[in-house]
């Protein structure tokens, strides 16, 4: 069902853009410390008839103090284990209904004083991204999705070719230019002037490629970051620009590569992600014994990135972290004892640093599932199934935090109050 917006253009436009001063994000001359989440599918909700659900979820997030959303602003093609309604369904063809969905999201976020990080590409398959650009330009089939680790090397090799194909990078820039130059059809505010947007983000988890290709792809990868960041700043000098990097894990564990990607003047702040289970630090079959290992490794990883941010004298955000439900259940009704403990300890580490004038400015947990529910927990997403926080290539219910997860939401609300 459609909802009319009564948003006041003048009121929204009077807000200031988020800026950087040294190691701090600033809003209205005050330190901007935020609690956020990932809601990659927000524009799809708005465009596909779920505006009422979106409004209710934004209201709940606002009440909790979760006011920074990392959302998808680009998707390409369609296919199995991928979003089926994309911003660019065919090369050079843009879906205006989905763009209007993004307009709606930004207008509603603006009413609530929220801020958006909008990412413009994806290294991974679930939204098309770099792999789709390579397939379009080279006339090759889209690679097999990563359904288990055996599929990962071939996919990563294919996706990383993007950085060395000028025509693929050009059509990506064409889309990026269109989006940044867009005027919101609801508020009448050009995206370039919209204070609801915190940052244009180059991609979700860009990386040089397979571990064995990191050094050989280093130059093309870093050149792409610099050239793209500069391209965006030429279009929009007011908004922040970020990479979307996972941090050291997404840089072949190379501090040199991570620092080189973020020392660029046009990159305003550092990003990193944290995945205790995915990276083998936590075993759901041995929760009691492996949980301390996960926390210790996470703490070390966070502190490594504090040091890197201090080296560059730039702000830092932890824009993805998540944790399993107990016993790796995908059922929204299952318990979340270990997730709640993990969230509490990670958020304590982060906000202690933020409030002591450290470089970190906020977090975006992965991911908001809201009022959605997996029709078949543990099954992969398919068209017609409700959107939740887990992308189409992952088991539904994997990392989603639902509106009914009262104990997890209590942890998030506690730390969100520290940001006010």
Residue range 266-301, pLDDT digits in tens: 999 999 999 999 999 999 999 999 999 999 999 999
Q: What is the pLDDT of residue 378?
A: 67
- Copy the structure tokens of residue 365: 């947990």
Q: What is the pLDDT of residue 7?
A: 41
Q: What is the pLDDT of residue 257?
A: 98
**CA distances in angstroms from 267 to 116, 232, 246, 316, listed in the order given:** 17, 10, 15, 11
Query: 406 Cβ partners below 8 Å, 6+ apart?
Result: none
What are the beta bridge partners of residue 116?
Answer: 69, 197
Q: What's phi and psi for 232, nearest 5 deg?
A: -65, -45
Q: Where are the alpha helices (DSSP H) in 319-404?
A: 337-355
Q: Which of 407, 365, 397, 270 lies closest to 40, judged by CA?
A: 365
Report the C-alpha gap between 96 and 282 in whole angstroms.
43
Cis check: omega of the bond before 367, within 30 degrees of 0: yes
Q: What is the pLDDT of residue 8?
A: 41
What are the beta bridge partners of residue 271?
Answer: 317
Q: What is the pLDDT of residue 1?
A: 34
Q: What is the pLDDT of residue 4?
A: 39
Q: What is the pLDDT of residue 150?
A: 85
**CATH number of the 9-419 domain:** 3.20.20.80
Q: What is the pLDDT of residue 6?
A: 42
Question: What is the full per-residue pLDDT of the chain (420 aa) written as tens digits?
Answer: 334 344 443 344 348 999 999 999 999 999 999 999 999 999 999 999 999 999 999 999 999 999 999 999 999 999 888 999 999 999 999 999 999 999 999 999 999 999 999 999 999 999 999 999 999 999 999 998 887 788 899 999 999 999 999 999 999 999 999 999 999 999 999 999 999 999 999 999 999 999 999 999 999 999 999 999 999 999 999 999 999 999 999 999 999 999 999 999 999 999 999 999 999 999 999 999 999 999 999 999 999 999 999 999 999 999 999 999 999 999 999 999 999 999 999 999 999 999 999 999 999 999 999 999 987 766 788 888 899 999 998 999 999 999 999 999 999 999 999 986
Q: What's phi and psi for 400, nearest 5 deg?
A: -65, 140
**Each residue of 190-205: pLDDT tens digit?**
999 999 999 999 999 9
Q: What is the pLDDT of residue 106?
A: 98
Coil, helix or strand at residue 299: helix
- Copy the structure tokens of residue 377: 């927990």
Report the C-alpha gap between 237 and 214 in whole angstroms.
31
How deeply is 315 buried, as exposed, middle or buried, from its count of CB atoms within 10 A (0-12, 13-18, 19+)? buried
Residue with tokens 């040294």: 22
Contact predicate 118/73, CB 8 Å: yes
What are the beta bridge partners of residue 370?
Answer: 402
Report the C-alpha gap between 58 and 252 in whole angstroms.
36
Region label for 370, one of left (φ > 0), alpha (ψ between -120 and 50) or beta (otherwise)? left
Contact predicate 378/397, CB 8 Å: yes
Report the C-alpha gap between 257 and 43 in whole angstroms.
33
Residue 93: count other Cβ atoms within 10 Å of its Cβ.
Answer: 9
Q: What is the pLDDT of residue 420?
A: 67
């Amino acid at each position: 069902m459609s909802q009319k917006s009564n948003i006041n253009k003048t009121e929204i436009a009077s807000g200031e853009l988020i800026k950087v001063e040294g190691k701090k994000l600033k809003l209205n001359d005050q330190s901007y410390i935020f609690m956020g989440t990932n809601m990659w599918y927000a524009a799809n909700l708005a465009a596909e008839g779920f505006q009422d659900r979106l409004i209710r979820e934004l209201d709940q997030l606002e009440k909790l103090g979760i006011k920074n959303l990392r959302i998808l602003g680009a998707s390409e093609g369609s296919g199995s284990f991928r979003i089926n309604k994309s911003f660019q369904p065919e090369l050079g063809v843009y879906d205006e209904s989905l763009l209007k969905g993004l307009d709606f999201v930004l207008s509603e976020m603006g009413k609530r004083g929220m801020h958006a990080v909008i990412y413009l590409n994806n290294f991974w398959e679930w939204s098309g991204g770099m792999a789709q650009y390579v397939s379009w330009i080279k006339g090759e089939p889209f690679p097999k999705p990563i359904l288990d680790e055996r599929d990962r090397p071939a996919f990563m090799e294919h996706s990383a070719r993007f950085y060395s194909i000028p025509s693929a990078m050009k059509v990506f820039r064409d889309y990026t230019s269109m989006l940044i130059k867009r005027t919101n059809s609801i508020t009448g505010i050009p995206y370039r002037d919209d204070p609801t947007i915190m940052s244009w983000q180059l991609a979700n988890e860009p990386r040089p490629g397979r571990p064995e290709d990191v050094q050989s792809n280093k130059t093309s990868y870093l050149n792409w970051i610099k050239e793209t960041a500069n391209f965006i700043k030429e279009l929009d000098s007011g908004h922040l620009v970020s990479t979307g990097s996972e941090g050291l894990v997404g840089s072949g564990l190379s501090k040199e590569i991570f620092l080189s990607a973020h020392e660029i003047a046009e990159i305003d702040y550092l990003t990193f992600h944290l995945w205790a289970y995915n990276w083998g630090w936590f075993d759901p079959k041995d929760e009691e014994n492996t949980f301390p290992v996960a926390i210790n490794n996470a703490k070390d990883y966070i502190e490594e990135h504090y040091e890197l941010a201090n080296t560059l004298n730039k702000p830092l955000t932890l824009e993805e972290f998540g944790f399993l439900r107990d016993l790796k259940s995908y059922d929204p009704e299952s318990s979340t004892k270990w997730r709640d403990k993990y969230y509490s300890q990670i958020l304590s580490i982060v906000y202690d640093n933020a409030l002591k004038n450290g470089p970190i400015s906020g977090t975006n947990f992965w991911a908001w599932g809201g009022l959605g529910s997996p029709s078949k927990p543990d099954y992969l997403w398919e068209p017609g199934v409700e959107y939740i926080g887990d992308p189409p290539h992952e088991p539904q219910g994997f990392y989603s935090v639902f509106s009914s997860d009262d104990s997890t939401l209590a942890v998030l609300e506690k730390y969100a109050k520290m940001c006010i």
